[in-house]
Amino acid sequence: MLRSRKIALASVLLLPVVAGGFLLQGRRTSDLLLEQVMSLVTDKFVDTLPQNDVFEKAARGLVKELNDPYSELLTPKDVKQFDSRTEGRYGGLGMLIQPKAGGGVEVVTVYPNTPAERAGIREGDRIIKADTNSTLDWSTQQVSDALTGPPGTKVTATFARPGVPTPITATFVREIIKVPAIPYTLVLGNKIGYIPLVAFNNNAADNLDTTLKRLQRQGVRGVVLDVRGNPGGILDQSLSIANMFLRDGQEIASVKGRSGTMDDYKARGVAVAPTLPLIVLTDERTASASEIVAGALQDHDRALVLGQTSYGKGLVQAVYKLDGGYALKLTTAKWFTPSGRSIQRPRKFVNGQFVEETPDTNETDATKKARPAYKSDAGRVIYGGGGITPDVIVQDDTLTTPEQQFAKAVAPKIQDFFTVRDDYALELSKTVKPEFQVQPAWMDEFYNRIHAKGITNDRKAFDAANRYVGRLLGLRIAHFAFGDSVAKRRDLTYDAPLRKALDMLDKGTTQRDLFALAGEPLGTAAATKPKKP
């Protein structure tokens, strides 16, 4: 008998309770085919296979052929790890990891006051072992599963660090890691609140509630909610956050499977900021829970979405317990925004993995019109086709040709470059003031260091990319010396989407003004919404 239970995943996958079972029907050719193949393999294959192995391989092959990387047959060991993660009592090391170009998994962020920071782990380190197991061919999820576990337990990991010939091995005691969903807030320009929401963890809604109320007490005229790079998190947190801006009863999102709508989620109660002018920033790394929030606010004309089209991660998984301690994690439905747009973006599937599309760096307000058109509550045209397409497309600042050439030249040794930069930035951070400027002598010394490491020997190319290199060095110095908020103020010059959002909020005093500035004035009455497909 199959059993299912409702759980929440880190990538914000809704797992609804669904009854499962087998329906006995007349024998078909396909039934006989599977039975005959399994019988022949069991009896005639050159090597003897235990019968249990034959059935597990058959089941695993079937799941693999679904061409869905989110569907997975979990072994009893996998189920135990999965349960520990979803029941909320699991510890980690305090690192954010991601796939590394060319293979493997690398550390991209080390959080303060965590086992990783205390062990001296650094951004750019590559994870090559978990305990005694090589991780070189593992996925990010496999590495994460191996390193996380019950708080207080130990795990040993080995890292390869650019520029360091000997691998670094450290033994960690796992802890419950509490990463702030909002690491800092700023009041910029003409009293505009800036809120970087980096994750939908257990504290995200409480953090945002406190932040919004504090900013409103400070008299901010509008807010920029930045979910660029936010990969998602806990479903309930995304619903609570959307609830802070919407009217009671407005739909936030819905889930649809083969049989139609399975769940509708609506706003409840009194909003924290029902009318405060709001711009949401998205990019190609905005995913899952972030897209639920951005899509709901856009559909109900509650926020202007600005930036680049989001990632498009809107699949729903259910986990079914099987005999023998196994479980099947199966994609059963998709997320939809209130206007009926599917959040999931169609992707090619090759060798067990999605082939990610190269972000469209030439996307414009004109090219987005090739996407399927929908209507917001007030009749504005919004676009589907997967992900959340912004109302206003703004690309990141581009590098000059010499800057692009330098970046391309050092790309093969980019981790060595970052290691040298971080070492030098950490040295300089001990002597600078908040208003510091990158000095020519610093640039000379930085060049000497990367030249000594064999990263580059072209001083002319380095000098031609002086603005770009100086930015990278200055931001890291500010990060080490004064934290992310000071570094962000420093980086504002290079952040075109945020600059555009601040300019629009400076000119407009209401949400209606923002849509008018974007060339999308609201009608005097809400338009009739199209039926959901």
C-alpha dihedral, 12 to 109 to 309 to 293, nearest 10°: 40
Active site annotation includes 313 = yes
In 64-116 the beta strands, taken as DSSP E runs, fall at 72-74, 95-99, 105-110
Active site annotation includes 299 = yes
Around Cβ 105, how many Cβ atoms within 10 Å? 23
Candidates 256, 313, 368, 413; catalytic one: 313
Candidates 299, 391, 422, 495; catalytic one: 299
Candidates 71, 238, 254, 288; catalytic one: 288
Tokens representing 378?
A: 């007030």
Around Cβ 434, how many Cβ atoms within 10 Å? 10
Q: Is the alpha carbon torsion for 193, 498, 242, 178 positive or negative? A: negative
449 vs 422, 424, 457, 475, CA distance in Å?
12, 9, 11, 18
Q: Which residues partner with 320 through β-bridges?
A: 4, 328
Per-residue burial over 344-362, b if 16 or more Cβ lie within 10 Å, else e, is bbeeeeeeeeeeeeeeeee
Cβ 316 vs Cβ 342: under 8 Å: no
Active site annotation includes 248 = no
Closest-CA residue to 343 (of 279, 290, 399): 290
Phi, psi of 343 (to 5 degrees): -75, -30
Closest-CA residue to 246 (of 334, 338, 314, 168): 338
Mention every residue, 6+ apart, whose C-beta is less than 8 A from residue 500.
Answer: 306, 392, 394
3-state SS assignment for residue 26: coil
Cβ 314 vs Cβ 343: under 8 Å: yes
What are the catalytic residues? 288, 299, 313
